[in-house]
Chains A and B, each alone.
Chain A
Amino acid sequence: MAESRWSGKSTFISYFCLFWITGALTTHVPLLIWSSDSLAPVPSSAAGHITSLSELRTYLSSTLGSGAHTVLLFLQEKLSQDDFTVYGGVYGNKEDSAFKNLEEALQSQSAVFPALEWSSSSSVPSILEQVFGVSPLLLSPDALDDLKMDASVNNLLLISLPYCSQNKHCREELRTNDDVIGRVLKTLEAKNVPYTAMFTGLQPSRVIEESSFSAPVGRSLLQAPPPAPAVQAPIIFNSSGNPCIMLWAQNLNVSFSPTAAWTDLYTLTPTLSGSLCNETNAVLVLTYNGGITLSFFMSQRFFPVSARRWFSLDSVQLRQNAVTAAFSSRNIYAPAEYSYHCQFVSSFRDPLLIPANNNGSWRLNFVDFQIQGFGLNNGTNFSYASDCAGFFTGAIWMGLITSLIMLFIFVYGLHMILQLNTMDRFDDPKGPSISVPQTE
């Protein structure tokens, strides 16, 4: 009996501690219900769940809906879970508990709502009123002895308990309340009245404000992120309805004299008339306002040694009004099914486009340039981009070759020197030592 009481108490206390730890953001009050009859079990809920008023209403209807009940509501001015933790003797000091009668009462049929949703406009009395259809009768604890109750109808008795005031120590106050509860319950038991008692607070005594977790933990920039630059669509030439040539570049800069400013043709909208696309050749002609035309000439063929089809951008022609400049390409090629990409295609610095027929005053500079003339297969995505920059650049290969040659020579020499030995074929420690004649 003592063990079961202790275990029940510790369960009750641990129940409150658990729910106190996982407190929630909205305000809530605990609600304890116990009865001399049977109570419906509280629907199981997750830890930290705040019971809403509608859930409470549902529960009360299911439990107390049928038959006549006498409901005794102990309404403390303020109540929170923390009160039980602080004053309930939960840290091993059971003798200091201020809720001895309450704990004893909860040993029998009881239902506990650790967190009942509370707002200033809602209250448990009003809910009970709605469920039962009777208005509560406010009692003073001593008046219960003289009260005559009719057990055949619903009775709702309200006993108001004070919360801690400045005059008395809080523990004493709560202990007094607990004594009141004990006395009232004894009176009811003496009268043999089956009852259902509830203990709750009119408002929460402590509202713990949870820190909001809206701000991200960790460092973050205060500066607003720069607006992402708008990415332009690629230029697509369709032949017989299907995409045939695709071109994309971050900039297509042209300049018509060494001192003139660069004109970025990619920002202008071109017309693609004059472009053609067939099995072996693809020509993309971009005509802009102002008489500027930029053409890309690509061709594709099968190379038997590599057993593969390759395409190359053979030349780029720039025309302004009547003057045409052609730039022949150097090493702009890729397998035919892939696209060609190069970060920097220019005619003056590490040139990939060599001016073929002008004196070099017109200049081209394409930045982040990607082109595909064959093998699009009705899609509008570029195929794998064969980049102009490989894993090892030419310079890296040169360094590797010369250093490997020197390393090889060094290792060879080292090997030779390390296997030099003094000759010991004719050493004879027991024989006579060699004699060197002074004269011939």
Chain B
Amino acid sequence: MNGHALLYTGVTLAFWSTILIVGICYTIFDLGFRFDVAWFLTETSPYMWANLGIGLAISLSVVGAAWGIYITGSSIIGGGVKAPRIKTKNLVSIIFCEAVAIYGIIMAIVISNMAEVRYALLFTDVLLLINLTIFINWYSMFGAGLTVGFSNLFCGICVGIVGSGAALADAQNPSLFVKILIVEIFGSAIGLFGVIVAILQTSKVKMGD
């Protein structure tokens, strides 16, 4: 077993054994009522969820874009050694990948504008408390970020692989490029779907009096 596999097995084993032992102890002492997902979801600060959504929106989108660009870019460079004419035309694939990152950053800005910090030092404002306890706001932000992030991640990978294929096919036979570009456009659409759904999710967020 090489080092990676050993490390991952060890971590997984530690994780599951911790969970097993904690679970057994809780069961034995009749403290099962302490395992309370609802408590966890309501007691953790809602700001954490909102900010996790924002962070994941941009970061996962960027990961997808980067992955796609790296795949396409290496193919363009490799193919361009023998067929330098493909360089300029195949930048379109790179731009499709980049668009995914732009979707991500737009959503991150939109969500962060909604996450207004209404913070009073004295916790006596009932309305403030109500605002904070309307968890749909905060979980919507988290969900929207997650949505746009993951869909852009896979969109970027998809566009990247297709673009790499397009570059190499173009190097071989210039008439193939336009046809493969159509496949790439379909791949790019799925990123757009993610953005639309995220916008729908955050449209429900109403922070205000």
Contact = CB atoms under 8 A, between A and B. Distances in A.
Interface of A: 306, 308, 331, 335, 348-351, 354-355, 360, 386, 390-391, 394-395, 397-398, 401-402, 405, 409, 415, 418-419, 436-437, 440
Given A348-B124, A397-B40, A415 B4 contact: yes
Q: Which of B59, B124, B126 has the most CB of A within 10 A?
A: B124
Nearest to A357: B126
Contact of A398 (B34, B48, B81, B82): B48
B33 interface: yes
A381 to B, nearest CB: 17
A403 to B, nearest CB: 12
A360 B48 CA distance: 28
A306 B52 contact: no
Contact of B45 (A398, A409, A415, A436): A398
Contact of A402 (B4, B48, B59, B85): B48
Contact of B85 (A348, A395, A397, A440): A440
Contact of B52 (A348, A351, A360, A405): A405
Contacts of B59: 409
B129 interface: yes
Contact of B44 (A351, A398, A409): A398
Interface string B35-79: 000011011110010001000000100000000000000000000
Given A397-B40, A405-B52, A351 B123 contact: yes
B132 to A, nearest CB: 12
A360 B124 contact: yes
Contacts of A395: 45
Contacts of A360: 124
Interface residues of B, number: 21
A355 B124 contact: yes
Dominant SS among interface residues on chain B = helix
B21 interface: no
Given A360-B124, A390-B34, A440-B85, A418 B52 contact: no
A394 B42 CA distance: 9
A385 B85 CA distance: 77
A424 B176 CA distance: 28
Given A394-B44, A440-B84, A440-B85, A402 B52 contact: yes
Given A331-B42, A348-B122, A394-B43, 9 more contacts: A331-B39, A351-B123, A355-B124, A386-B33, A386-B34, A390-B34, A394-B44, A401-B52, A415-B4
A349 B124 CA distance: 9
Given A402-B52, A405-B52, A354 B129 contact: yes
5 contacts: A331-B42, A350-B123, A351-B123, A394-B45, A437-B82
Contacts of A348: 122-124
A306 B124 contact: no
Given A355-B124, A360-B124, A335 B44 contact: no
| Nearest 6 CB-CB pairings of A with B | A394-B43, A360-B124, A398-B48, A394-B44, A398-B44, A335-B33
A409 B62 CA distance: 13
B129 A394 contact: no
Nearest to B42: A331
A386 B43 CA distance: 17
B50 to A, nearest CB: 12
Contacts of A331: 39, 42-43
Interface string B74-99: 00000001101100000000000000
B98 to A, nearest CB: 20
Contacts of B124: 348, 355, 360
A347 B82 CA distance: 76
Interface in B1-54: 4, 33-34, 39-40, 42-45, 48, 52
